[in-house]
Amino acid sequence: MTTQIGFSEKFSRHNNFSHPENAERLNTMMNEIKKSSLFNKVEFIEPELLSEEVLASVHSNEQIQQIKEYSLQGEGWIDMDTYVCKSDYETARLAAGSIVQLSKNVLMGKADNAFGLVRPPGHHATQNRSMGFCLFNNIALAANEISKQKKKVLIFDLDVHHGNGTQSIFYNRKDVLYQSFHLSPHYPGTGDIDEIGIGEGKGYTVNAPLFHGNGNIAVSRLLDGIFLPIAEQFRPDIILVSSGFDSHHADLLGGLKLTANFFGKIIEKLQEIQPKIVCTLEGGYNLSWIGKCLVAQIGQMASCPVKINDSSHENTHVEPVIENIKNEIGDYWRI
């Protein structure tokens, strides 16, 4: 089993230590990998720079130019949450390029699965707006490139925040299935159950807005009752995962109650549908826990499970969410 890790020291150039999404996140996660039994069991891959042509296949020229100009100036803020540093036009293209590269490697059999340990994150970036700590949408760029090969892509988003950018990019398409569980109400305010897609894409967006305090049990019920049955019918050629570790119970910007080990359990369940899996780093801001969540996930991918001593008390009430999803999307899938 070959698990590739996309990583570059250049990702640390995107940095603002007063911001929760800063370079220390990757330092912490790399240190946790090095301390674990996984370090010699994975293959580290230096990212390839995403071409401007591929970038423009998803993002608008205005958005691209804004990041390019801010990057040349040396620093700037897109909004009150989203900063740009010197060289970020290149750094963000490296992050996206890594996910595209890893996805192609997995599809071609050069690796069994992969994890893009990249920054800045991406799932909030829409076709024409950078927001929510995200400059370009890494996972959407990869999914769009894969779809050009007539492959079907499942995007599974486990970040505590809804991936509004990813959803919007594929909202009218049926070759990319977007599934997300997330805290609600919470930033960015999207991801309601009735957001199921439009046109050809109707039924290919599945949202599970969760109650504050929901955790392993609630998400397990959603996986078994909603997400996995739909994914099995969709029959994806590859699964791309937005791995946001801010769903962990101790995260500073969260509100869900997942334990570290459960991030590996989610991968295990997705592997039953399609073993070709590529994860990309999204959120996760508790420096004491994000590395542990990461190794639990990579351990499952590398067939070398790492068990973390972690537990949480959760709100198991999720039945109304499941029933409402069935009512909303039952005409499109057997659930």
As annotated, the active-site residues are 124
- Taking the C-alpha atoms of residue 164 and residue 134, their distance in angstroms, rounded to an integer, is 11
In 78-90, which positions are buried (b, 16+ CB within 10 angstroms) versus exposed (e)?
Answer: beebbbbbbebbb
- Taking the C-alpha atoms of residue 320 and residue 183, their distance in angstroms, rounded to an integer, is 15
Answer for the pair 30, 117: CB distance below 8 angstroms, yes or no: yes
DSSP label of 21: S
DSSP reduced 3-state for 264: helix
Kindly list the strands in the beta sheet with 205-210, ordered across the sheet, starting from the edge strand earlier in the chain.
42-45, 3-6, 113-116, 277-281, 238-243, 153-157, 176-183, 205-210
- Taking the C-alpha atoms of residue 104 and residue 188, their distance in angstroms, rounded to an integer, is 30
Answer for the pair 89, 13: CB distance below 8 angstroms, yes or no: no
Q: Please name which of 156, 146, 50 lies closest in space to residue 107, comparing C-alpha atoms.
A: 146
- Taking the C-alpha atoms of residue 283 and residue 321, their distance in angstroms, rounded to an integer, is 24
In 43-72, which positions are buried (b, 16+ CB within 10 angstroms) versus exposed (e)?
Answer: eebebbebeeebbeebbeeebbebbbebbe
- Taking the C-alpha atoms of residue 42 and residue 279, their distance in angstroms, rounded to an integer, is 14
